[in-house]
Structure 1
Amino acid sequence: MELSSSLPPPSPFIPNFSLPSSSPSISPSPSLASTVLFCSLLSLLSLLGILGNIYTLVLLLRRRRGRRRRGLLSRLPVPSCLAGSSSPSSSPSSSSSSSLHLQVLSLALADLLYLFTAPFIVYDSLGSGWAFGEPGCRLLLSLDLLTMHASIFTLTAMSLDRYRAVARPLHASSSSSGLLRVGVSWGLAVALSLPMMITLHLEDGEDQQGRLCVPAWDEQSSKAYLSVLFCTSILGPGLAIGALYATLGRLYWVSQTRPAWASGGGVACPPRAPKPKVLLLILGIVLAFWACFLPFWVWQLLPLYQPDMLRTVPVGTQVTVNRILTGLTYGNSCVNPFFYTLLTGKRKRNWQAPASAKQLCRKSSPDQ
Structure 2
Amino acid sequence: MNNNSMNINTTPRVGGSGAVDHELVITSTFGTLLSVVYIIGVSGNVYTLVVMCHSIRFATSMYISIINLALADLLYLSTIPFVVSTYFLKDWYFGDVGCRILLSLDLLTMHASIFTLTVMCTERYLAVTKPLDTVRRSKSYRKGLAWGVWLLSLVLTLPMMIMVTQTTKNTPEGGVKRMCAPTWAPLAYKVYVTVLFGTSIMAPGLIIGYLYVKLARAGNKRSPKQKVLIMIFTIVLVFWACFLPFWIWQLLPLYHTKPLSLASQTHTCINYLVASLTYSNSCINPFLYTLLTKNYREYLKNRCILPVFMKLFSQTKPITLQYAS
Whether the TM-score (by the shorter chain) exceeds 0.5 is: yes
Q: In the alignment, residue 214 of structure 1 is paired with which amino acid? A: A
How far does residue 64 in structure 1 lie from its aligned partner after superposition? 2.7
How far does residue 46 in structure 1 lie from its aligned partner after superposition? 1.1
- Specify the alignment match of 2:161 in structure 1: 197
Structure 1 residues 146 and 299: CA distance shift in structure 2, 3 A: same
**Identical-residue share of aligned pairs (%):** 46
Residues 107-126 of structure 1, C-alpha deviations (whole Å, 9 max, x = no match):
00000000010001111111
Residues 150-184 of structure 1, C-alpha deviations (whole Å, 9 max, x = no match):
10111111110000001112222432222122111
Unpaired segments of 5 or more residues in structure 2? 15-21, 316-325
Q: Is the 8 A contact 2:12 2:23 kept in 1?
A: no
Secondary structure (helix, strand or coil) at the match of 2:165 reads strand
Out of 262, 267, 272, which is 1:313 matched to? 262
- Specify the alignment match of 2:6 in structure 1: 17
How far does residue 278 in structure 1 lie from its aligned partner after superposition? 1.0
Q: In the alignment, residue 144 of structure 1 is paired with which amino acid? A: D
Out of 99, 112, 122, which is 2:61 matched to? 99
- Specify the alignment match of 1:251 in structure 2: 218
How far does residue 140 in structure 1 lie from its aligned partner after superposition? 1.7
Residues 249-300 of structure 1, C-alpha deviations (whole Å, 9 max, x = no match):
10026x4xxxxxxxxxxxxxxxx22210111111011000000000110000
Q: Which runs of 4+ in 1 moved over 6 A?
A: none
Q: Does 1:217 align with 2:184?
A: yes
Structure 1 residues 250 and 331: CA distance shift in structure 2, 3 A: same
Structure 1 residues 280 and 28: CA distance shift in structure 2, 3 A: farther
How far does residue 31 in structure 1 lie from its aligned partner after superposition? 1.0
Out of 261, 264, 274, which is 2:224 matched to? 274
Distance 2:246 2:218 in 1: 34
TM-score after normalising by structure 2: 0.84
- Specify the alignment match of 1:365 in structure 2: none
- Specify the alignment match of 1:149 in structure 2: 111
Distance 1:128 1:325 in 2: 19
Secondary structure (helix, strand or coil) at the match of 1:344 reads helix
Q: Is the 8 A contact 2:56 2:64 kept in 1?
A: no
- Specify the alignment match of 1:269 in structure 2: none
Q: In the alignment, residue 122 of structure 1 is paired with which amino acid? A: V
Distance 1:176 1:13 in 2: 34
Structure 1 residues 221 and 343: CA distance shift in structure 2, 3 A: same
Q: Is the 8 A contact 1:99 1:178 kept in 2?
A: yes
Q: Does 1:296 align with 2:288?
A: no
Structure with the bigger percentage of helix: 2
- Specify the alignment match of 1:122 in structure 2: 84
- Specify the alignment match of 2:24 in structure 1: 32
How far does residue 27 in structure 1 lie from its aligned partner after superposition? 4.4
How far does residue 14 in structure 1 lie from its aligned partner after superposition? 3.2
- Specify the alignment match of 2:17 in structure 1: none
Q: Does 1:350 align with 2:307?
A: yes
Residues 62-87 of structure 1, C-alpha deviations (whole Å, 9 max, x = no match):
2235x5xxxxxxxxxxxxxxxxxxxx
Q: Is the 8 A contact 2:3 2:275 kept in 1?
A: no
How far does residue 330 in structure 1 lie from its aligned partner after superposition? 0.6
Distance 1:191 1:287 in 2: 25
Distance 1:133 1:156 in 2: 35
Secondary structure (helix, strand or coil) at the match of 2:6 reads coil
Q: Is the 8 A contact 1:160 1:244 kept in 2?
A: yes
Distance 1:61 1:242 in 2: 30
Any residues of structure 2 matched to 1:38-187 within 5 Å, and which?
Answer: 38-64=30-56, 67=58, 98-172=60-134, 173-187=137-151
Residues 218-256 of structure 1, C-alpha deviations (whole Å, 9 max, x = no match):
221111110000000000110011001110110026x4x
Q: Is the 8 A contact 1:128 1:209 kept in 2?
A: no
Secondary structure (helix, strand or coil) at the match of 2:5 reads coil
- Specify the alignment match of 1:364 in structure 2: none
Q: In the alignment, residue 88 of structure 2 is paired with which amino acid? A: L
How far does residue 341 in structure 1 lie from its aligned partner after superposition? 1.3
Q: How many residues align?
A: 292
Secondary structure (helix, strand or coil) at the match of 1:313 reads coil
Q: In the alignment, residue 112 of structure 1 is paired with which amino acid? A: L
TM-score after normalising by structure 1: 0.75
How far does residue 206 in structure 1 lie from its aligned partner after superposition? 2.9
Q: In the alignment, residue 73 of structure 2 is paired with which amino acid? A: D
Q: Is the 8 A contact 1:99 1:177 kept in 2?
A: no
Distance 1:136 1:287 in 2: 31
Q: Is the 8 A contact 1:100 1:178 kept in 2?
A: no
How far does residue 317 in structure 1 lie from its aligned partner after superposition? 0.3
Unpaired segments of 5 or more residues in structure 1? 1-11, 19-24, 68-94, 256-271, 358-368
Structure 1 residues 305 and 99: CA distance shift in structure 2, 3 A: same
Q: Is the 8 A contact 2:30 2:272 kept in 1?
A: yes
